[in-house]
């Protein structure tokens, strides 16, 4: 298994819809293993294939509330997302703050649906269905967005536009080729 560089906001693969997986083969399973290794090294709770430069509809996730709970971990290939509409109102700055490995080091409040159902396939092509609430639902929505070429900052209230632009300019993001490697925690570009 290999820890892969994670693409940063501005790289074209992050801003285009990913293609459906057509072959459930060893290459796909190797990609999934590398994605788990990369997500764990980052560390993160989810990672979509476009974030590691692969334009396929695949994401991995892992989340546990505390040490006594078995981690919730898996992969979804070619997902379909069903969700209840998000509650109206302004997102809470603490309870609804979200981050992204492709916009590293930053968190912003974003209202998401409280409940989702995701259908798709595992890495062997077997059908699966996941029902999730709360943070687990948030993770699934966040990773699904990546497969449609959307980063969570694209969904933020326009009040954050100036702050986001300042961050992008200051860090040299917003262009192709920028990535960071979780193994050495440095940004490449």
Asked if residues 24 and 60 have their Cβ atoms less than 8 Å apart, the reply is: no
Asked if residues 123 and 28 have their Cβ atoms less than 8 Å apart, the reply is: yes
CA distance 67 to 25: 34
Q: Is 9 annotated as a binding residue?
A: no
pLDDT of residue 89: 84
pLDDT of residue 67: 62
pLDDT of residue 32: 98
pLDDT of residue 15: 96
Q: CATH for 6-174, among 3.40.47.10, 3.90.45.10, 3.40.50.720, 1.10.260.40?
A: 3.90.45.10
CA distance 38 to 28: 15
Q: Is 94 annotated as a binding residue?
A: no
Q: Which residues of the chain have pLDDT under 70?
A: 65-69, 185-189
Please state the φ and ψ torsions of residue 46, each to the nearest 5 degrees.
-165, 155
Asked if residues 140 and 101 have their Cβ atoms less than 8 Å apart, the reply is: no
Asked if residues 187 and 22 have their Cβ atoms less than 8 Å apart, the reply is: no
pLDDT of residue 87: 83
Q: Is 142 annotated as a binding residue?
A: yes
pLDDT of residue 185: 64
Q: Which of 37, 96, 98, 143 is catalytic?
A: 143
Domain layout of the chain by residue ranges: 6-174
Q: Is 98 a catalytic residue?
A: no
pLDDT of residue 7: 97
């Amino acid at each position: 298994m290999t820890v892969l560089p994670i693409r940063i906001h501005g790289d074209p693969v992050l801003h285009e819809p990913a293609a459906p997986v057509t072959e459930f083969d060893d290459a796909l399973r190797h990609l999934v293993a590398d994605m788990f290794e990369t997500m764990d090294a980052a560390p993160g709770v989810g990672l979509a294939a476009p974030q590691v430069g692969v334009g396929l509809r695949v994401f991995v996730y892992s989340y546990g509330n505390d040490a006594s709970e078995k981690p919730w971990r898996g992969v979804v290939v070619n997902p379909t997302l069903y969700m209840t509409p998000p509650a109206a109102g302004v997102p809470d700055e603490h309870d609804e703050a979200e981050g992204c490995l492709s916009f590293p080091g930053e968190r912003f409040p974003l209202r998401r649906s409280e409940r989702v159902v995701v259908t798709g396939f595992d890495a062997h092509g077997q059908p699966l269905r996941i029902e999730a609430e709360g943070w687990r639902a948030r993770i699934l929505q966040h990773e699904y967005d990546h497969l449609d070429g959307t980063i969570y900052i694209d969904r933020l209230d326009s009040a954050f536009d100036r702050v986001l632009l300042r961050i992008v300019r200051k860090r040299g993001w917003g262009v192709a080729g920028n990535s960071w490697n979780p193994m050495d925690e440095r940004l490449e570009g």
